[in-house]
Amino acid sequence: MTGCHSSTVNPQRAAVWQCMSNCGACCRLAPDERHEALEVLNESQIKTYMDLVSNDGWCRFYDTGSRKCKIYEDRPDFCKVASLISLFRVEKEQADDFACKCCTQQIKSIYGSRSKEIKRFKKILRMNSNNMSR
Ligand code: SF4
Ligand code: SF4
């Protein structure tokens, strides 16, 4: 995901990550926009990644209409948040915070920092956080 750095994780902040439906921001794979993601992939993963990129910069398996992955059950490992956390060598207790930050940056990058998508994502995170503190 764009802007993912394990060093940006703030261990003080409790966050509970959840993928937001009707988003798909992380399925934009244009290599010039995803330097951080590409840096942590091995040679074989980079080949798989590059094979996914369409001319328009989106993944060829991304359905822009429904904003869904067409091969969700068979998507590559690096598309899974759990794998990303491992690739970026994030500690288990910081995994949620890391995933929340990655998604936030990617959603802002794709839809804008004042988009309805980022507002919806922040609302989901707030609700999760409130539920955790009950
Ligand atoms: S950017 Fe985050 S919230 Fe959006 S589809 Fe990807 S994992 Fe889900
Ligand atoms: S394979 Fe699916 S989850 Fe992975 S980038 Fe493509 S559309 Fe997104």
The DSSP letter of residue 8 is G
For residue 58, what are the β-bridge partners?
A: 28
* Helix (H) / strand (E) containing 119: helix 116-133
- Which residues, at least 6 apart from 117, have a Cβ–Cβ distance to it below 8 Å? 20, 23, 25, 107, 110, 111
For residue 82, the model assigns a pLDDT of 86
Which numbered atom of ligand 2 lies nearest the CA of 72?
Answer: 2
For residue 133, the model assigns a pLDDT of 67
Distance 40 CA to ligand 2 centre (A): 17
Over residues 107-112, the mean pLDDT reads: 97
Q: Where are the domains of the chain?
A: 6-133
Give the residue among 130, 125, 132 at the shortest CA–CA distance from 19. 125
- Which residues, at least 6 apart from 21, have a Cβ–Cβ distance to it below 8 Å? none
**pLDDT tens digits along 45-95:** 999 999 999 999 999 999 999 999 999 999 999 999 888 888 899 998 999
Which position has the higher pLDDT, 62 or 132?
62
